[in-house]
């Protein structure tokens, strides 16, 4: 069984937010320079402003219309021939409805679990487990994830973290970083 994250792995929330924030703020930040998973650090603005910007962004694009990361859906389709696929996301409760609609559109019949976000101030919810705990409970062998904080203090020997390569996880050195083509080569 393979567990996979959504944002930064299947869905390009980060690119959509970056373009929107650049437009609103008149800035020209580049995707490849987004070296922190927390965009308030990349933009040098407060988290409150990030949340407000994202609410405005959400009015226009929501979560259902966000761009899909190149190769993600084709790769998951291929992986489904050999593995059971599940989604573990730390999107907050207020985004559950949109996330279910998105799942039904793009990855129907794939189970969806909600976790804490490790050191992710924008994510998670009450009474949730960590991604690692959920993956353990459901018996996943791999967890595909872009948030480098999820890999810190990793305890499970049964689950192998697959770091989906993004500019904000360049600092991950104890795990190999993969794009979707490389994941397919590794797991098939
Ligand atoms: Mg993510």
Give me the DSSP letters along 93-160. Answer: GGGHHHHHHHHHHHSTT--EEE---TT-TT---TT---HHHHHHHHT-SEEEE--GGGGTT---SS-E
User: Domain count of the chain?
Assistant: 2
Mean pLDDT (whole number) for 10-23 = 97
pLDDT band at 120 (very low <50, low <70, confident <90, very high): confident
Ligand 1 centroid, distance to 117 Cα (angstroms): 9
The answer on 145 and 88 residing in a single domain is: yes
Ligand 1 centroid, distance to 87 Cα (angstroms): 11
CATH of the domain at 107: 3.40.50.1000
pLDDT tens for residues 93-102? 999 999 999 9
The answer on 159 and 78 residing in a single domain is: yes
Q: How far apart are CA 157 and CA 48, in angstroms?
A: 37
The answer on 114 and 167 residing in a single domain is: yes
pLDDT at 108 over 90: yes
The answer on 90 and 163 residing in a single domain is: yes
Question: What is the span of the domain harbouring residue 32?
Answer: 13-61
What is the reported pLDDT for 152?
A: 82
pLDDT at 3 over 90: yes
The answer on 45 and 7 residing in a single domain is: no
Active site residue 36: no
Ligand 1 centroid, distance to 13 Cα (angstroms): 9
Active site residue 38: no
Tokens of 88: 């573990």
């Amino acid at each position: 069984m393979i567990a996979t994250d959504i944002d930064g792995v299947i869905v390009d929330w980060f690119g959509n937010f970056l373009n929107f924030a650049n437009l609103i703020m008149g800035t020209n930040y580049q995707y490849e320079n987004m070296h922190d998973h927390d965009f308030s650090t990349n933009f040098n603005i407060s988290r409150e402003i990030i949340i407000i910007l994202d609410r405005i962004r959400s009015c226009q694009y929501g979560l259902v219309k966000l761009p899909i990361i190149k190769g993600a859906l084709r790769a998951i389709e291929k992986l489904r021939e050999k593995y059971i696929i599940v989604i573990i996301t730390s999107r907050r409760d207020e985004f559950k409805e949109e996330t279910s609609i998105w799942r039904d559109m793009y990855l129907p019949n794939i189970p969806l679990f909600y976790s804490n976000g490790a050191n992710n101030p924008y994510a998670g919810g009450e009474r949730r487990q960590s991604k690692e705990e959920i993956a353990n409970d459901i018996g996943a062998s791999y967890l595909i994830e872009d948030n480098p904080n999820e890999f810190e203090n990793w305890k499970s020997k049964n689950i192998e973290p697959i770091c989906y390569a993004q500019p904000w996880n360049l600092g991950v050195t104890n795990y190999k970083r993969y794009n979707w083509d490389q994941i397919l080569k590794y797991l098939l």
